[in-house]
Amino acid sequence: MDSEPEERAEEREIGALLRALDHPMPPVSAESVLALAGSRRGAGPLRWAAAILLIAGVAGAAYAIPGSPVRSWVREVLAGRPATVSAPPAPRPDDPGVAGIAVRPGRRLVILFRETQQAASAAIVFEDRREGDVLVAGPSGAATFRLEGERLTVDNSPTDSPRFEVRIPRDAPHVEIHAGPRLVFLKQGSAVTTVRLVCSNGKATSLAREDTVSTRVTTVFLLAAALACR
């Protein structure tokens, strides 16, 4: 036994006081930690990913500076007018010819693209809307959407090469995106990990974040990762 009964009583008393410091338990599950860990497996040799992250970080910092030319360039790209890349513009949910769905993220939202499409892409954009909906959109006819509980299934065709866009409010607590059987994106609070983004040029961009602690700059990395696919 570690301590005497009176000591235990005192420990309980102090324990009760310490509860005043507690915050709600975060929505972290064993499966999502395993998915995160699994996404890193094999990422060790991908030193180039670290270089991409570094470049993305610098680009993000440049973007953050008011009046920066990077900021206006990013706006142009997000608006669907990429000047230096050949990928088609991203669909916007409010554009004609675009079909999509708006879903309350709740405590947890799993978005499942049923088919993996080598020449398709999903651009993930964070938005500052508080308590907003997650928007998933693609070209009309490219997919149908089905919401069941916390799971949104995107029935996309394996033969097409559409470009989807997923807009996520920054305060959405937990959003996972799967492409077929693979977890490709995980957002838990402000911690974000992208595992594999399949780009419209047919190449795969892999970014495994090695340092989940540095959450405060993660969305910059993710934004850059999404842009890298454009």
Partner 1 sequence: METVAGLVGMTASFHDCFVELFNRHFPRLYRYLDRLTGDPELAADLGQEAFVRLFRRGSLPDAPEAWLISVAMNLLRNERATRRRRERLLTPARGALAHADPAPSPEATAEARDARARVRRALDQVPERERQMLLLRAEEYSYREIALALGLHEASVGTLLLRARKAFRAHYQGGSDGF
Lookup: tokens for 52: 């991409």
Contacts of 189 (CB under 8 A, 6+ apart): 26, 173, 174, 215
> Segment 96-115, which members bind partner 1 (CB under 8 A)?
none
Instruction: Characterize 6-17 residue by residue with b for buried, 16 or more Cβ atoms within 10 angstroms of its Cβ, and e for exposed.
Output: eeeeeeeeeeee
Total residues contacting partner 1 by CB under 8 A comes to: 55
> Segment 42-81, which members bind partner 1 (CB under 8 A)?
60-61, 64-66
140 binds partner 1 (CB under 8 A): no
> Segment 146-185, which members bind partner 1 (CB under 8 A)?
170-171, 173, 181-183
Judged by beta carbon, residue 33 or residue 147, the one nearer partner 1 is: 33
Give the nearest distance from C-beta 130 to partner 1 in angstroms: 8
DSSP state of 217: G
Angle ∠(54,192,140) on CA atoms, nearest 5: 105
CB 146 within 8 A of CB 134: no
129 binds partner 1 (CB under 8 A): no
Strands 197-198 and 204-205: what pairing?
Answer: antiparallel
> CB neighbours (10 Å) of residue 66?
5
Judged by beta carbon, residue 24 or residue 97, the one nearer partner 1 is: 24
22 binds partner 1 (CB under 8 A): yes
Judged by beta carbon, residue 28 or residue 102, the one nearer partner 1 is: 28
Q: Rounded to an integer, what distance in angstroms lies between the CA atom of residue 43 and that of residue 61?
A: 25
196 binds partner 1 (CB under 8 A): no
Lookup: tokens for 40: 């890193």
> Segment 200-229, which members bind partner 1 (CB under 8 A)?
211-220
User: Binding residues for partner 1, per CB under 8 A?
Assistant: 2-3, 7, 10-11, 13-15, 17-18, 20-26, 28, 30-31, 33-38, 40-41, 60-61, 64-66, 126, 128, 170-171, 173, 181-183, 188-191, 211-220
